[in-house]
């Protein structure tokens, strides 16, 4: 008999060589590198593709999870006529969707919202070149989830609407189901009121996101996803009734396109006096303003707001702020060398 090292032993059952990665002489640094580097397996195409689009994929899946839970709870409450939940159930469902979506997309920063990505580009030096890919991934993820929710509840939608070829939009029918997928304002809301409602909710969203992520204040650390749950729940419970608190272009426009494709017609865009553009524009302004407020009032870290002229000097190369930026860059390089 031979033992694990290949030497003879006096007796007992045969001992076979262990797997290489568990052996005493394995180079574990090389193993870890091989696992993280797709080029170590050039014959495998998917790992290389996945590595190249890893962050957009994370945004796609995170937004997919968000809409699955969000549209899913709206469908259940609507189609059951309130027997399987109420308005607060919707707030819980959207909060859970955001929290779980964030857990799924941590590698990309878990934006799940083009307006959040935009604000991070403005205030947190997130690369602008990534913005289009993030936004596209978020919209496609929301669309895909809306298709799945529709497939899951198709029979119930048909029963609720009154027929397989009947698909209606709020404001055009009492049994409308288009509101399952995207937001529609209350009939008494003016366009200005719609815009302001989304602006306020989006401002709160971005201000509180930066508060959760600011270790120089209190910060939430590993509890950030839970904090986001309470943010979304609070916005929905306190500011959601008038417009449905889209606060997210991808969350609203993606499923709206899906509902149009599924046969709800052009009324998905016409409803609410062409309301569809409000959730596409207002969240960008609201999130940008919320980020600006946080950095202006509370944030002490690196931000354009904490530079000369509140960062506006970046728009005019001739301003003295550019000289300040050069000096700041030199100081950083000096500190890096000394470190």
| Secondary structure letter of residue 164 according to DSSP | T
Q: What pLDDT score was predicted for residue 324?
A: 54
Q: How confident is the model at residue 292 (pLDDT cuts 50, 70, 90)?
A: very high
Q: What pLDDT score was predicted for residue 44?
A: 83
Least confident of 86-95, 247-256, 263-272, 322-331: 322-331
Q: Which residues of 102-131 are buried (b: 16+ CB within 10 A; e: fewer)?
A: bebbeebbbbbbbbbbbbbbbbbebeeebb
Q: In this structure, what token pair is assigned to residue 245?
A: 């608190």
Q: What pLDDT score was predicted for residue 39?
A: 59
Is the pLDDT score of 7 beyond 80?
Answer: no
Tokens 């308005």: give the residue. Answer: 87
Is the pLDDT score of 154 beyond 70?
Answer: yes
> Left if phi > 0, otherwise alpha if psi is -120 to 50, otherwise beta: which for 221?
left
Rounded distance between C-alpha atoms, residue 21 and residue 32, angstroms: 10
Is the pLDDT score of 323 beyond 90?
Answer: no
Q: How confident is the model at residue 330 (pLDDT cuts 50, 70, 90)?
A: low
> Residues of the chain with pLDDT > 90: what percent?
71
Q: How confident is the model at residue 20 (pLDDT cuts 50, 70, 90)?
A: very low
Q: Is 2 helix (H, G, I), strand (E, B) or coil?
A: strand
The architecture (CATH level 2) of 53-297 comes to: Up-down Bundle (1.20)
């Amino acid at each position: 008999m031979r033992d694990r090292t290949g030497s003879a032993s006096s007796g007992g059952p045969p001992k076979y060589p262990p797997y290489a990665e568990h052996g005493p002489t394995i180079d574990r640094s090389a193993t870890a590198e091989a696992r993280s580097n797709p080029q170590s397996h050039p014959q495998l195409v998917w790992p290389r593709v996945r590595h190249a689009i890893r962050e957009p994929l994370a945004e796609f899946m995170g937004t997919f999870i968000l809409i699955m839970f969000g549209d899913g709870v709206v469908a259940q409450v609507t189609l059951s006529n309130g027997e399987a939940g109420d308005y607060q159930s919707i707030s819980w469902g959207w909060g859970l969707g955001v929290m779980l979506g964030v857990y799924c997309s941590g590698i990309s920063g878990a934006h799940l919202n083009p307006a959040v990505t935009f604000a991070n580009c403005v205030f947190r030096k997130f690369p602008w070149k990534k913005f289009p890919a993030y936004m596209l991934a978020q919209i496609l993820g929301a669309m895909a989830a809306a298709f799945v929710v529709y497939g899951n509840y198709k029979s119930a939608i048909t029963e609720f609407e009154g027929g397989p070829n009947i698909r209606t939009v709020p404001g055009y029918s009492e049994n409308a189901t288009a509101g399952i997928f995207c937001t529609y304002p209350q009939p008494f809301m003016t366009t200005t009121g719609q815009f302001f409602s989304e602006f306020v909710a989006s401002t709160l969203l971005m201000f509180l996101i930066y508060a959760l992520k600011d270790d120089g204040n209190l910060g939430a650390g590993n509890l950030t996803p839970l904090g986001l749950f309470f943010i979304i729940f609070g916005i929905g419970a306190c500011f959601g009734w008038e417009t449905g608190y889209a606060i997210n272009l991808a969350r609203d426009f993606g499923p709206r396109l899906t509902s149009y494709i599924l046969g709800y017609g052009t009324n998905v865009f016409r409803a609410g006096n062409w309301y569809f553009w409000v959730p596409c524009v207002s969240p960008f302004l609201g999130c940008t303003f919320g980020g600006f407020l946080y950095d202006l009032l509370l944030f002490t870290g690196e931000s354009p707001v904490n530079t000369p002229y509140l960062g506006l000097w970046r728009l005019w190369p001739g301003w003295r702020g550019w000289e300040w930026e050069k000096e700041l860059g030199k100081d950083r390089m000096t500190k890096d060398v000394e470190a």
